[in-house]
């Protein structure tokens, strides 16, 4: 299994576990994703802006951190709306 397929498998596995109880609808003001608590999951992406747009617009998460992380890298954190920690 090459590295790209391996990373994809990990992402699918993690998202499957995290989003298992979730409906297909995105988060809205009166509905959430059903995620009760989630600390950190690291997902490597090729395009930070595209990934951020997907996590916020499609899944309805909100950006809580966005900073540089080394050369040409960013540290983005998204969380369910209203998550305090």
74's CB contacts (< 8 A; 6+ apart) are 48, 66, 67, 68
Q: Which two tokens stand for residue 2?
A: 């090459």
Under 8 Å between Cβ of 73 and 47: no
Q: Can you give the pLDDT at residue 2?
A: 55
Instruction: Give the C-alpha separation, 84 to 74, whole Å.
Output: 22
Would you say residue 79 has pLDDT above 50?
Answer: yes
Q: Can you give the pLDDT at residue 17?
A: 47
Instruction: Give the C-alpha separation, 52 to 76, whole Å.
Output: 8
pTM above the 0.85 mark?
no
Render pLDDT for 28-68 as a digit per residue (tens, 0 to 9): 556 666 767 667 888 889 999 999 999 999 999 999 999 99
Residue 40's CB: how many other CB atoms inside 10 A? 6
- Structure confidence at residue 82 as a pLDDT band (50, 70, 90): confident
Provide the greatest CA pair distance for the chain.
42
The least confident of 12-21, 29-38, 72-81 is 12-21
The ranges assigned to domains in the chain are 3-21+29-79
């Amino acid at each position: 299994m090459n590295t790209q397929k391996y990373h994809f498998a990990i992402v699918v596995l993690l998202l499957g576990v995290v989003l298992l109880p979730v409906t297909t609808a995105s988060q809205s003001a009166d509905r959430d994703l059903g995620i009760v608590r989630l600390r950190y999951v690291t997902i490597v992406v090729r395009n930070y802006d595209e990934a951020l747009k997907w996590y916020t617009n499609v899944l309805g998460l909100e950006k809580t951190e966005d900073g540089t992380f080394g050369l040409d890298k960013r540290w983005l954190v998204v969380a369910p709306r209203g998550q305090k920690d």
